[in-house]
Copies of this chain bind each other. A is one copy, B any other.
Amino acid sequence: MELRSLRQFLAVAEELHFGRAAARLHMTQPPLTQAIQKLEADLGVSLFERSSRSVALSPAGAALLPQAEQMLAQAQGLSALVQAAAKGESGRLRLGFVSTVGYGDFPRWLRGFRERYPDIALSLREATLDVQLPDFASGELDAGFIIHAPGACPPGFERLSIASEPMVLALSSELVLAAQSSVSAQQVLALPLVIFPRAIAPSLFDAVLGFYQALGESPRIEQEAIQMQTIVNLVSAGIGAAWVPASVQAFGRAGVSYKPVSGAPPTCETSLIWPRDAAPTVRRFVDHIAAQIAA
């Protein structure tokens, strides 16, 4: 069974005349007759009822006609389909993201991307970098938003910086410090910390650690927690203070005050990362996000 046969069948079925059908196929009548005979033999049925004066579809031919039309149309569309896929205009994109990016412009960017590339199926997964990396390795993830120490980038990945910002101190509103407009480095040293485990985001952890080391001190880690939401809740409960990206202030929380720290507070960077050999859908996404940032 070849599509050529179906094209020939379709021409004859529509013209109901071997001569005209052959002309339409840019061939002559005898080989067309033979081709149809061969198709009939292949399928084990007669497709036309013919006399020397007329050609009509047989019941089998009538059954084949819509199928042939459909298959030929599908074949026709294949080229456009695969080219769209090659250009990254269709396919799928599996995104990882850390919880904090969910609050900024990210949702709006996603919506814009969906509208511009409706044939790309998006799937989202909230995950920290340490969870994303194995997923990248096993090919289950195409790109991810992460928060990390400035300039860092996992090996084998490319990176697009979304935002770079100082970290601020989140502390319980009940502390006297909360009345000040800012906090000094010395005051920070005295506060017990709620912080994400080093295993989760080593570069960011080290950036915070660096702040203390620059002052010849070590942080007093009271509690470890992973989700930003959890950390803020623990701060609210008075367990300790926490370094958080300045943008986290935007989604406040009753009982928590955010204070800039004077001197040289640690900074962090939000980036989109993707494997160096990523598929074109990923490039489309990166380009789209880059354009959004520029705008």
Query: A residues bordering B, Cβ < 8 Å?
Result: 1-4, 42-47, 58-64, 67, 70-71, 74-76, 78-79, 81-86, 88, 90-91, 279-281
> Quick one: given A3-B2, A59-B279, are A78 and B67 in contact (CB under 8 Å)?
yes
A-B contact pairs, 30 of them (CB 8 A): A1-B3, A1-B76, A1-B78, A1-B79, A2-B3, A3-B3, A42-B79, A43-B78, A43-B79, A43-B82, A43-B83, A44-B82, A44-B83, A45-B82, A45-B83, A45-B85, A59-B86, A59-B280, A59-B281, A60-B86, A62-B85, A62-B91, A63-B82, A63-B84, A64-B78, A67-B74, A67-B81, A70-B74, A71-B74, A71-B75
A227 to chain B, nearest CB (A): 34
A161 to chain B, nearest CB (A): 26
Determine the chain B residues whose CB is within 8 A of the CB of A76 once the complex forms. Answer: 1
Determine the chain B residues whose CB is within 8 A of the CB of A79 once the complex forms. Answer: 1, 42-44
Determine the chain B residues whose CB is within 8 A of the CB of A84 once the complex forms. Answer: 63
A231 to chain B, nearest CB (A): 39
Closest to A64 in B: B82
Please state if A47 and B1 are interface contacts (CB–CB under 8 Å).
Answer: no
The CA of A46 and the CA of B84, in the complex, are separated in Å by 12
Integer count of this chain's copies in the complex: 2
Please state if B86 and A46 are interface contacts (CB–CB under 8 Å).
Answer: yes
The CA of A63 and the CA of B78, in the complex, are separated in Å by 9
Determine the chain B residues whose CB is within 8 A of the CB of A3 once the complex forms. Answer: 1-3
> Quick one: given A3-B2, A4-B2, A71-B71, are A63 and B45 in contact (CB under 8 Å)?
no
The CA of A63 and the CA of B280, in the complex, are separated in Å by 13
The CA of A60 and the CA of B2, in the complex, are separated in Å by 23
Please state if B75 and A59 are interface contacts (CB–CB under 8 Å).
Answer: no
A74 to chain B, nearest CB (A): 6
> A63-B82, A64-B82, A67-B74 provided; 8 other pairs, C-beta below 8 A?
A2-B3, A58-B86, A59-B86, A59-B279, A61-B82, A62-B85, A63-B81, A64-B81
Determine the chain B residues whose CB is within 8 A of the CB of A45 once the complex forms. Answer: 82-83, 85-86
Residue in B2, B81, B83, B88 whose beta carbon sits within 8 Å of that of A2 in the complex: B2
The CA of A64 and the CA of B78, in the complex, are separated in Å by 7
The CA of A2 and the CA of B279, in the complex, are separated in Å by 28
